[in-house]
Structure 1
Amino acid sequence: MELTDKRFWKFEAMMLLCGVLLFCLLCSVLICNGAEIDSGSGIILILLFPIFLLYFAICGIPTWLLYNGGSWMKLAGYLYFISSLLVIAPIMTFMYDWNPATANMRPENMPIDEGTFFTDNEFAVIICVGWAMSLIIPVVFTSYLSKRWIIKDNQGHGWIVDSASRAIQGNLQSNVRAIAIGYRYNRLTLKCYLDSLPSEQDKEMLSDIAGEIISDFPPDKIPRTTEICEFSNVPISELDKLDSFIYIRTNEP
């Protein structure tokens, strides 16, 4: 989807909520494990809060660009992948020792069965696993809410179909077989199927229908339109109906 879409800022607001949820989750884990929060650790937590907000605001940009509609789980998948990758990739690049000769080395005077010592590689893996697990709840929750919010914005589709049904009354010509309508991401698409080659009069007719539909809504509801007239002699069932047909000529096969 495009960054110029006004819904992007609503999505960014949900990304800020994701950062808040992760921060609350972190505080809950610390409290449940009996961590003592003194002045030093308190300052660190306070600094982490805006960092989390900024981090997810940044993650929201590529997520929005990659997501082109679909289920909320698809949105959650993109967000989870990006928000995980931006932390795990640097850790595995700069902290993890990929040299088998020096990896997992312990101090020489430490017993082999000593389990309280973590090597740099073990510590890096623990951070990555902990980060990946902590993202699940905030990402799933905010992705679901984001999708619901997007769907809510698009519930005007029914009203647009009703408006289109009124707009075609008295505007159709005898050579019109069917008209399909689509509404995605604030773009209205009208596709007119004719039993003859399209003429300027046919295009003007479809433009008038689109104009009547647009006039029923605020300017930001339908800022973009696509109008298509084409000749077709295939059965109606084989035509692209976009979202739905708003007109089918009587006795069409």
Structure 2
Amino acid sequence: MTANPEWLVLCVWRALLGEIYPSIRGVAISLSEKNILVIRYYMDREPIEFDSGSMEVVATNISAQIGLDKISRIELECEYAFDPISELDPLDGFVYCRREYDM
């Protein structure tokens, strides 16, 4: 696992504004040496079409901010995850995690 560059984390945070909703448990990202950005949503339910649309908005926002010189492609993944956040694959790091209580 390598750390994501600060410029990328800030860009993704901005792109996520207004796109985080209660079903999202976490958002993990990874940037490969070939400048392929992977964005993975972890959901508390099976993904639906709305989730894909939201991810496309985030990808469009990122592309508009950065352009193709730093990111050649964005791959979007959306998974239902029941395991605790601490047991999920963070890729190169989480950029969002929902606060979850064990009550």
2:90 to 215, 238, 241: 241
Unaligned runs of 5+ in 2: none
Distance 1:193 1:156 in 2: 19
Task: Report 1:73-88 matches (<5 A).
Answer: none
Q: Is the 8 A contact 1:161 1:246 kept in 2?
A: yes
Deviation at 1:167, TM superposition (A): 1.3
The reply on whether 1:217 has 2:77 as its aligned counterpart is: no
Deviation at 1:218, TM superposition (A): 2.8
Q: Percent identity?
A: 34
Root mean square deviation of aligned Cα: 1.9
Q: Is the 8 A contact 1:235 1:252 kept in 2?
A: no
SS at structure 2 position matched to 1:229: strand
Match of 1:152 in 2: none
Unaligned runs of 5+ in 1: 1-69, 71-154
Q: Match of 1:178, as an amino acid? A: G
| Higher strand proportion (structure 1 or 2) | 2
Deviation at 1:251, TM superposition (A): 2.3
| Higher helix proportion (structure 1 or 2) | 1
Q: Is the 8 A contact 1:164 1:213 kept in 2?
A: yes
Match of 1:180 in 2: 28
Tell me the number of residue pairs that the alignment of Structure 1 and Structure 2 aligns: 100
User: Please, what TM-score do these two structures have when normalized by structure 1?
Assistant: 0.37
Match of 1:205 in 2: 54
Deviation at 1:248, TM superposition (A): 0.5
User: Please, what TM-score do these two structures have when normalized by structure 2?
Assistant: 0.88
Distance 1:167 1:224 in 2: 16
Distance 1:184 1:167 in 2: 19
Distance 1:224 1:183 in 2: 10
Match of 2:99 in 1: 250
Q: Deviations over 1:141-172 (max 9, x none)?
A: xxxxxxxxxxxxxx982101111111111111
Q: Deviations over 1:40-89 (max 9, x none)?
A: xxxxxxxxxxxxxxxxxxxxxxxxxxxxxx9xxxxxxxxxxxxxxxxxxx
Question: Are the structure 2 counterparts of residues 241 and 156 from structure 1 closer, same or farther at C-alpha, using a change threshold of 3 Å?
Answer: closer
